[in-house]
Amino acid sequence: MSPQRTPQSRDEFEARLRRIGAERYHDLHPFHDRLHGGGCTPDEVRAWVINRYYYQHSIPKKDAAFMSRVDDPALRRAWRSRIEDHDGTDENEGGIRRWLRLAEAVGLDPDYVASCDGVLPTTRFAVDAYVRYVREKTLLEAVASSLTELFAPKIHANRIEGCCGIMPSPMTARCLTSATG
């Protein structure tokens, strides 16, 4: 039997999660290092936009799957903002629409990107597995898989700087600033 551990405080738990993210998060992959460092070609950036769009457009489905399993109305109301951030509202166009503007800014046809016809099979497999994971695993595991807010601000800043170095234009900079997620 393993020894019992003392529960961590909220600050200790968050610090532990941040350490894990600093060691293992996807931004450490060599491709992301090149993307954030301005080392990708314009075609590689376009391929990333197409495939990342598939992930972005799947996030509301993932969050809806989570919400459908939550009994607490307060938690559902709080989580709903995650869907609205991507799908938009009457007052906010949402991240998915901003990703399509980014696609256009880097020279892609937004309708083609929205069709998801150009998404790599491996991307589709991984993203669909993520949505399925949240739908089928425990609520705790589903929440834990959705903690990107801990790491995203730093990653977005690096991504914007790197991509603007590859495809410099005011429109690209504006779109990257509003779309990255």
Which tokens go with 166? 């590859």
H or E stretch covering 125: helix 121-136
Give the list of residues 6+ apart from residue 119 with CB closer than 8 angstroms, or none: 50, 51, 53, 54
Q: Which two tokens stand for residue 108?
A: 């892609």
Residues 77-107 as b or e (16 or more Cβ within 10 Å = b): eebeebbebbbbeeeeebbbbbbbebbbbbe
Query: Whole-angstrom distance between the N-terminal and C-terminal Cα of the chain?
Result: 42
pLDDT tens-place values along the chain, 181 residues long: 566 778 888 888 888 877 877 777 777 778 877 887 788 888 998 999 999 999 999 999 999 999 999 999 999 998 898 899 888 888 888 889 988 988 988 899 999 999 999 999 999 999 999 999 999 999 988 988 887 766 666 665 656 665 555 565 554 555 455 554 4
* Residue 103 contacts residue 50 (beta carbons within 8 Å): yes
Could you report the per-residue pLDDT of 90-122, keeping only the tens digit for each?
A: 888 888 998 898 898 889 999 999 999 999 999
Q: Give 105's contacts (C-beta < 8 A, 6+ positions apart).
A: 167, 169, 171, 172, 174, 175, 176
Domains and CATH numbers, the chain: 40-179 (1.20.910.10)
**How much is the pLDDT for 69?**
94
Angstrom distances, CA of residue 164 to CA of 45, 135, 160: 10, 36, 6
Can you give the pLDDT at residue 116? 97
Q: Chain-wide mean pLDDT for the chain?
A: 82
Q: State the pLDDT at residue 174.
A: 52
Residue 59 confidence (pLDDT): 92
